[in-house]
Amino acid sequence: QSVLTQPPSVSAAPGQKVTISCSGSSSNIGNNYVSWYQQLPGTAPKLLIYDNTKRPSGIPDRFSGSKSGTSATLGITGLQTGDEADYYCGTWDSSLSAEVFGTGSKVTVL
Amino acid sequence: EVQLVESGGGVVRPGESLRLSCGASGFTFDDYGMTWVRQAPGKGLEWVSGINWNGASTTYAESVKGRFTISRDNAKKSLYLQMNSLRAEDTALYYCARNTMIRGVINYLDYWGQGTLVTVSS
C-alpha cells in the first residue's frame, strides 16, 4: 500500500492538457524532492521530472512539475498519442527511510 | 551511453534463493548510488533496496528486510541482489536503476535497466 496517492486514470483529447496529482505527507513530499516517471507499455520507467520541477535533457517542455506543501503535480500539455503511459511520482520518506512511489496514473488520449 | 543490464531472474519455488546481477556501463559506476525496484505483474512500482557509492550504506523496504541483501562490486561495475526465503509475493520484474543522492538519501532514479523477471511458484 503506497503512501503517495495518485488518481488511477486521467484522459483528454489530443492537444489538450492533463494534470496528475500526487498526495503525500510531511514525512515524504513535504520535506523531500519529488520526481516523476513515465512508463510506456511494455517498457522500463523513464525519468521525466526531478527536483520537483526540472526536466532531464531530452524531455520536452510539454511536461512540467510543481510542488506545494505535501502535494505535487505533473502537467502534460499538447497531449499526444505517444504520451499514453503510466505515470508515477516518487520521493524519499524520512519516517520509513525508504524511497516511495505513487500508486500510478494511466493517461489515455481520447 | 548509460546502460544497465539485469540478469539472474528465473522460476524458483517458495523458500528458495536467487541472486540478481546488474551490469553497468557508460558512466563512472562508483560515482553513484544504485537501487533495485520491482513491479509485480499488472501492478505499480515498489522500491526494494538501495546502496550508496561504496557499499557502506544500504537500505531496504520492510517487505524484504532480513531476506534480501544488496551489494556492489565497483571493480566489476556490477550491482547485486541476493534474495533468500523467496515468497510468492516476491514475483515481479526487478529493475536496477542509477540514483542520485542528496543529504544522504535517494533523490531520483535517472537511468533504469530493462528488468529481469523473478517468478516464485510451487
**What DSSP assignment string belongs to A42-91?**
TS--EEEEBTTTB--TT--TTEEEEEETTEEEEEE-S--GGG-EEEEEEE
Minimal CA separation from A92 to chain B, in Å: 6
- Give the confidence band of B106 by pLDDT, cuts at 50, 70, 90: confident
Burial of A91 (0-12, 13-18, 19+ CB in 10 A): buried
CB contact under 8 A, A35 and B112: no
Taking any CB pair shorter than 8 Å as contact, residues of chain A touching chain B are: 2, 32-33, 35, 37, 39, 43-47, 50-51, 56, 86, 88, 90, 92, 94, 96-104
Cβ atoms B72, B78 nearer than 8 A: yes
- Give the confidence band of A2 by pLDDT, cuts at 50, 70, 90: confident
Place of cell 544488496: B70
pLDDT digits (tens, 9 = 90+) for A26-78: 999 999 999 999 999 999 999 999 999 999 999 999 999 999 999 999 999 99
Instruction: Give me the residue from A45, A50, A94 closest to B45, CB to CB.
Output: A45
pLDDT of residue A31: 94
AA identity, residue A50: Y
- A1: pLDDT strictly greater than 70: no
